[in-house]
Every structure is written in structure tokens, then in C-alpha cells.
């Protein structure tokens, strides 16, 4: 099977799995505010990130939020690296998605507009996506190639 066909099939299967998970009890029309949190860093800047790691948590993401504090975001974590694609269905605030490699390096950034269903994808396979208020990365001069720290990007200490 050609790689592009495998990629699209993977996206379709992930979407179907997420819809099935949502049908099993996620509150409709409500933002998820009670996810676990971790602290990330982008240089000297601190980020309080909610962790969306299950299919249902990732599907809801930041939907239905009317606002989000400037230092907060949501870190989406996937089981394995893949080309990750995001859209803004039912998302009311403009966001920027940072597609992040396992070592914390930002692969690419995508500005996303509220309520749009246009897909924004990682430039290469990644395991993490960090969504922040649109403009957060630009205002702090954080670009592709910069490295995030903290959370899953912390280096293990010496043994």
C-alpha cells in the first residue's frame, strides 16, 4: 500500500476511534477542564499544559472554550509518532499548534482559526502537539527548531 494511502487510512481510523470514544459518555458541548497537567518550558517561558492522551481527550481538545489564560495550553500525546492533523471544529478561540518531536524540538507551527474544519498537519511524524493561544509563539519568538523542556521532554538525570 502506498505511504500516502496508509497515512490517510490511519487518519480515518483514528477519527472513527475518537468518535466511538466520544459516544461512550464524554459530556457534549462542555470544555474539558479537569485533565492532568504538566509544566513545560519554551526558553524562559513557562507553560501550564493540560494533557490530552486518550482518544476521547484528544478528540475534544480545546473545544467549547471561550478563553484560555495566556500561559496555558494543551499538550496532545499520541502512542507513537505519526503525521498528526488537527482542525478547529467547535473550537471558539484562535490557536497555534506546535507539532513537536520526541526530544521536544518544534517541527512546525500552524495558526488555526476558530470553527474551521481545515486540516493542519505536522511536516513529519511527531508524537506531541502543543496548542496555545494564537500569537503566543510569535510574541515570544519561538519557532520551528526551538526545543521545549519539562514534562515528557525532560532529560533523564544521571544514574
Question: Do residues 93 and 131 touch, judged by C-beta distance below 8 A?
Answer: no
Q: How far apart, in whole angstroms, are the C-alpha atoms of residue 65 and residue 21? A: 20
* pLDDT, one tens digit for every residue, the chain (159 residues): 555 444 444 444 444 344 433 433 346 788 999 999 999 999 999 999 999 999 999 999 999 999 999 999 999 999 999 999 999 999 999 999 999 999 999 999 999 999 999 999 999 999 999 999 999 999 999 999 999 999 999 866 444
Sketch out the chain's domains with CATH numbers.
3-153 (2.60.120.1140)
pTM (predicted TM-score):
0.81
Amino acid at each position: 500500500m502506498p505511504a500516502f494511502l496508509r497515512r490517510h487510512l490511519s487518519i480515518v481510523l483514528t477519527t472513527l476511534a475518537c468518535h466511538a470514544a466520544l459516544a461512550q459518555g464524554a459530556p457534549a458541548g462542555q470544555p474539558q477542564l479537569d485533565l492532568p497537567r504538566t509544566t513545560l518550558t519554551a526558553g524562559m517561558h513557562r507553560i501550564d499544559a493540560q494533557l490530552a492522551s486518550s482518544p476521547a481527550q484528544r478528540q475534544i481538545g480545546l473545544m467549547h472554550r471561550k478563553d484560555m489564560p495566556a500561559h496555558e495550553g494543551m499538550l496532545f500525546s499520541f502512542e507513537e509518532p505519526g503525521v498528526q492533523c488537527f482542525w478547529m471544529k467547535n473550537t471558539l478561540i484562535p490557536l497555534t499548534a506546535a507539532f513537536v518531536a520526541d526530544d521536544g524540538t518544534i517541527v512546525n507551527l500552524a495558526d488555526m482559526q476558530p470553527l474551521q474544519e481545515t486540516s493542519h498537519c505536522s511536516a513529519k511524524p511527531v508524537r506531541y502537539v502543543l496548542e496555545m493561544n494564537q500569537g503566543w509563539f510569535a510574541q515570544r519568538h519561538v519557532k520551528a527548531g526551538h526545543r521545549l523542556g519539562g514534562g515528557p521532554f525532560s532529560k533523564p538525570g544521571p544514574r
